[in-house]
Amino acid sequence: MTMTSRRLQDLTIGDHTLTVPLVWSDPADDRRIDIHAAVVTRDGGESLPYLVFLQGGPGSEAPRAFHSPTAPTWLDAALEHHRVVMIDQRGTGSSTPVGDDDLERGADALAEHLTHLRADSIVRDCEAVREHLGAQTWSVLGQSFGGFTTLAYLSTDATSLEHVYFTGGLSAVGRHPDEVYALTYAKQREASERYYRRFPEHRDAMRRLADLAGNGGIVLPDGEVVSVSRLRSLGMLLGSNDGWQTLWQLLESGPRTNAFRYDLAAALPFSVRNPMYYVLHESSYADGAATDWSAERTEPDDFRADPTLLTGEHVRREWLDTVPGLRPWKDVALALAQVPWPTIYDADAIAASGARGAAAVYVNDLFVPLEYSLDTARLLPGVTPWVTSEHEHSGLRSGDVLSRLVDLAHGRRVR
């Protein structure tokens, strides 16, 4: 265990590193990893309760604490009431990160390692950090996959949680991944049609780009020959508040220009900066099932026929051959797709948790469908849902979402 402290204007940031088991469920397994947590405290807030932030993903580290305008936009609101704990989830950031160097272990060994980086293990890490900080309880803010992890937390350690705040993170409980992905395609269809109603000329522009991609005519600076399925994944941009602007700019650009090629490379999802996001993504919806390329298998017929229907968080097996940075991960990804993932949520325990808090549920969420979020919300009568079309899935990063949730959780009138 190591601890250091640093100052940033009126903030104190305490860096804590704990060594924990890789396999919490097996005391005989002596493998260990490090978990890093940054505790952010505003001057005068040294006695405030803790709020732990669980990042979206999976596979992304926690944001770093800086002052506005580069800080997470919700941080100021959080620091009004809490000391904020930013945990790099296992395998990310400063928590024994997983990257290309780990491929030297061999595909089978690395795939087995990755099976221990799911939400249930992240909960055990959180408990170790909470106990290290000497907190009897703390509150949780779960964004997207961080909300999924919060549901896993409520399944096993609800007594540790004072308040829970979900932002686009009320995942389906007890559903097969195929059910979730089938519904996300319906959401993407609606979003695609909504976009083309605003910019009808862009449907033809997208069709021309798909034709170009189909003939190997779009090549990115890293040498990737962009496939049609990869191009269509730009629909993920429609899941954030302002992502449509990036899509608009791309469809207005000449495809033979450097600007288009570099901007397209920056806009495509599943960056190989965080390979875990690709190889573990489908497992985040696996509540007791193997995924077996669920998004690929559940693609509707009209999506297969119409390249202008844009996709989102739908990973494709073919990218393991077409995306240079993913090729080395092919055997790892193929192995993980066949893992019979254990059940991660306990619906009865969640319902009996007595959880208090609030949840932002986005009507047009492309990644965590409204219908299943509302089903899960019914398991949590003490968690007030704020159902809104004001924001997309990225709502936490804009506006006053967290402030609204805190007010709802404490019975205050929402501004």
pLDDT number for residue 33: 98
319 three-class SS = helix
Q: At what angle do helices 243-252 and 201-214 cross, to 10 degrees?
A: 70
365 three-class SS = coil
119 exposure class (CB count in 10 Å sphere: 0-12, 13-18, 19+): buried
Q: pTM of the predicted model, to two decimals?
A: 0.94
Question: Residue 33: how many CB atoms within 10 A of its CB?
Answer: 21
Q: Per-residue pLDDT tens, the chain, 415 aa: give them.
A: 677 878 788 889 999 999 999 999 999 999 999 999 999 999 999 999 999 999 999 999 999 876 444 468 899 899 999 999 999 999 999 999 999 999 999 999 999 999 999 999 999 999 999 999 999 999 999 999 999 999 999 999 999 999 999 999 999 999 999 999 999 999 999 999 999 999 999 999 999 999 999 999 999 999 999 999 999 999 999 999 999 999 999 999 999 999 999 999 999 999 999 999 999 999 999 999 999 999 999 999 999 999 999 999 999 999 999 999 999 999 999 999 999 999 999 999 999 999 999 999 999 999 999 999 999 999 999 999 999 999 999 889 877 899 999 999 998 765 5
pLDDT number for residue 72: 80
pLDDT number for residue 3: 75
Of the candidates 221, 60, 165, 178, the residue with the CA atom closest to the CA atom of residue 404: 165
Q: How far apart are CA 120 and CA 98, in angstroms?
A: 18
Q: Strand order in 50-54's β-sheet?
A: 2-8, 11-21, 32-42, 83-88, 50-54, 138-143, 161-167, 357-362, 383-388
pLDDT number for residue 130: 98
pLDDT number for residue 10: 86
What is the set of domains in the chain, with CATH numbers?
A: 2-174+343-409 (3.40.50.1820), 177-336 (no CATH)
